[in-house]
Chain A
């Protein structure tokens, strides 16, 4: 069965600090990988996704993620966070054929002004 783990439960950063949120998955086949963001009181929105090709994918709002197949990882990065990035971040994985989307437990990011 697929599973997703996220390294940190809660990350606290000051504005302009660099961000890296860890995500590891377990699945034996080809996967599609996603990062979603949930701002306080809102629904989940897609940040970026990886299907194939260049393992470094760029998303909205300056976020990027790198797929490292050998490590089963898909870490999210941003060089300089802003206060408005305060949110919950979810990593998700989907097997290529027919399986459902499995989400990690989420990482709460608090950015201090």
Chain B
């Protein structure tokens, strides 16, 4: 049973470019969460999605960031016009559609903005 798959694992972008991070949840999981981890800081919640719905995006910056989880295909976290401060590890996690279940993390995507 494959775990949560994230790609790319490492991404380098120049300031002003776009970054797209993909997350395929575990089989049978319909809930996806995105977190950002800055160097020397903890995990910051960004967005919580179910298939075709954004449930909670209270942690998403208002500009340049967007997320989707289409009916088919992976969840995508999109960062437009990246700036140096976007450099971080972005972790995706997934859980099954049952209250109280555990979330399982992917190995993360490390974004470096140069």
Whether A100 lies near B45 (C-beta < 8 A) is: yes
Whether B45 lies near A101 (C-beta < 8 A) is: yes
Q: Is there a chain B Cβ closer than 8 Å to A25's Cβ? A: no
Interface code A78-106, partner B: CB below 8 Å = 1, 0 otherwise? 00000000000010001011111111111
Interface code A36-53, partner B: CB below 8 Å = 1, 0 otherwise? 100000111110010100
CA distance A97 to B99 in the complex (A): 6
Query: CB < 8 Å: which of B35, B55, B56, B99 contacts A103?
Result: B35
Whether A90 lies near B108 (C-beta < 8 A) is: no
Name the prevailing secondary structure of the B interface residues. strand
Q: How many residues from A make CB contacts under 8 Å with B?
A: 23
CA distance A51 to B99 in the complex (A): 10
Whether A34 lies near B41 (C-beta < 8 A) is: no
Whether A98 lies near B102 (C-beta < 8 A) is: no
- From B33, B42, B102, B108, name the one whose CB has the most chain A CB atoms within 10 angstroms: B42
Please judge, given known A-B contacts A103-B42, A105-B42, A106-B42, whether A32 and B100 are in contact too, CB under 8 Å: yes
Nearest CB of chain A from residue B43's CB, rounded to whole Å: 4
What residues of chain B lie closer than 8 Å to A36, measured between beta carbons? 105
